[in-house]
Amino acid sequence: MVAAFLASTPLLSESWSLCRSTTATAASAETFAVSSAGDVSYVAFSGVQAFGVLDPGCGNLVAVDGGVFSVLRHHVEADEEAEEPVMVHAGMLSLFHSMLKYTNFESQMFEIIKQSKSVVFTGHSIGGTIASLSTLWLLSYLQSISSPLNVLCITFGSPLLSNESLSKFILQERWGGHFWHVVAKHDIVPRLLLAPLSPLTQLHALLQYWHLSMTSAQLPVTGQDFCSLAQNAALRQDIVVQLPDEEKNRLFLFVLACAEASAKAGRSGGSSFFWPFGNYVFCTNEGAVCMDDGAAIVNLMYLMLVTGNASSSIEDHLKYEYYVEKVSMQFLKQTGFVEGEFFESSYEAGVTLALQSSEIASHELVSGPARDCLRTAVRMGRAPNLKSANLAIALSKITPLRAQIEWYKASCDKSDDQMGYYDTFKLRGASKRDAKVNMNRIKLAQFWDSLIRMLETNQLSHDFHKRSKWVNASQFYKLLVEPLDIADYYRSRGMHREKGHYLNHGRERRYEIFDRWWRNRKVGEEENTKRSRYASLTQDSCFWARVEEAREWIENIRSESDMRKLTMLWENIHKFERYARKIVEIKEVSRDVLAENSSYSLWVKELSELKSQMHQFPSRFPGFFEGESAP
């Protein structure tokens, strides 16, 4: 479907046309070219501007700085548990920074933002990686100014750029649809960085060959440029001599073996390994196949390369004009099945069509794995959304459990004992009502823990934790239920004395995760308005854990004789006292906090009595009225 859409629009042909003309002027000072078609601006980057960045010395991955890509800095700060930083190819990143520093690229982009409705970044070969970085840069900037500009990136034969963390980040930001990478069937360049570059002694000569081939293909054969064409042809012949078939075969087999290892692994090997991101469009003589799952992309990269050879893997990097025309022609040509062939579902029919387009169907050794790969890609594409839908149904089924706890809270707040929600549950007895609420608390925890496991094992979409439905649901659950968890933790007086206080030793990981989700949400203007009445739920879900610590501080003051420790205890008490007064004043607490016999109200009374005793009987508190410490 996506391949047909791209083929039916001028996007591919216009992008390639500008890539070709930019390569023709690669010797000039400009490394990019800008063209407009109506409200659409095209920005193309030369594929031969600096092939040296693919040399082994420049091939390491480095962390992306947060200065130019500000959104990545916020992403790292927001996700404290991120296993791997976002990293990109050091040489490519250096090229991009040089372009920002030494050309008028940035000023031209600001003009495009003012004048255009859409911008398409494009590039062939290394130019494709610069197009990807430019797209990432512009998307980061547009997010900061809330611009409606449409941004698209179309690359042709681009090398891999980054580790898997960038792929995850792009999915989380819902930017996957902005990146489209066109890959010729056997082109070795998009597969090249699946292999370590250091053993590739043939690479330098190969890069020179591509460089001269792309430049020569664009030069006119008349006038003064005839000599340049002849010189390039001679240099290309010299390079061919330097790179015999044996060397090309060695390179091909090495990259093929590394691609196979990556395909079998099913994911990247960590932050130091390259990995695809965005959407890939694999082009053949029979059409095109699109996919967006990283593991499936790497698998198909390998399976399609198996059907090629050393020569086709090198020459395919120079044949994108042919493939662009072929894809457009295939869109006009009706593709059919063998007469009498039937399928169990449209899903199987789609897989068969994709297999035909990949030209792998006729290769017995890889046609089976290729079909499995395509099936997996389709399942992986649908599975996260299906599981999200099933979770929404499951959430609706547990809503009655949450409603029963809400009813319990309301009844506690109205109770004559004036203890409130937290203390009633902490001092609960053996009633059926208390047992039911406790069971609901446990069942809700199981649901949310299961959801987190699914998210962390990539069973849900990568932006799941940014969807307002789930951010709000998790926040409400946390505010409603965590006070019960705290009450249960302190219900047995020995537990916190053995393990330590709740905040550092008893808090469940799910609540810390939900804290991050809530902090990273998009805040609406309505959330900044002042409250006119007390909150239905205390907005600090850990408030009661802080109260429990503060009550222990008062107990310790009565028995502590070490002045240094006493001073520290008073500092802690004063800090909590100021905090509690503030959130009560701005009505960020529920009414149960202020109930006459709640733990907080009792703490306030205890603190007042302690201060009174200290002034009435100073001899019992030596040192406090001699300038050493003061309550």
The Cα–Cα gap between 24 and 47 comes to 10
Quote the radius of gyration of the chain (alpha carbons, Å).
32
Give, in degrees to the nearest 5, the angle at Cα 449 between 413 and 537: 20
Closest-CA residue to 47 (of 25, 75, 77, 79): 25
Report the chain's terminal Cα–Cα distance, integer Å: 73
| Inter-residue contact 502 to 496 (CB < 8 Å) | yes
What secondary structure letter does DSSP report for 162?
B
Are residues 31 and 94 in contact, defined by beta-carbon separation less than 8 angstroms?
no
Residues in CB range of 51: below 8 A, 6 or more apart: 125, 126, 207, 208, 210, 211
Rounded CA-CA distance 321/288 in Å is 14
Residue 587 token pair: 């009505």
**CA 354, CA 343: separation in Å to the nearest integer?**
14
The whole-angstrom separation of Cα 426 and Cα 580 is 21
Q: Phi and psi at residue 307, in whole multiples of 5°?
A: -80, 0
* 3-state SS, one letter per residue, for 596-617: CCCHHHHHHHHHHHHHHHHHHC
Residue 94 near residue 102 (C-beta atoms within 8 A): no
CA distance 316 to 179: 21
Helix locations, 51-125, DSSP H: 70-78, 90-102, 105-115
- Residues 575, 578, 584: CA angle, nearest 5 degrees: 140
Q: Is the separation of the CB atoms in 44 and 15 below 8 Å?
A: yes
d(CA 301, CA 317): 14
Q: Is 537 helix (H, G, I), strand (E, B) or coil?
A: coil
Return the number of other C-beta atoms located less than 10 Å from residue 315's C-beta: 17
| Angstrom distances, CA of residue 247 to CA of 57, 286, 317 | 21, 30, 18
Dihedral (CA of 477, 478, 484, 485) sign: positive
Q: Which residues are catalytic?
A: 125, 187, 317
Please, what is the angle between helix 70-78 and helix 164-172, to 10°? Answer: 90
Please name which of 259, 256, 330, 248 lies closest in space to residue 289, comparing C-alpha atoms: 330
HSE-up of residue 354 (Cα within 13 Å, Cβ side): 25
Residue with tokens 């994709």: 354
Residues with Cβ within 8 Å of 357's Cβ and at least 6 positions away in sequence, in order, are 3, 284, 286, 287, 288, 289, 330, 335
Residue whose entry in the numeric block shows the structure tokens 């040089």: 98
Q: Residue 279 contacts by C-beta under 8 Å, 6 or more apart in sequence?
A: 2, 176, 177, 179, 180, 181, 290, 291, 292
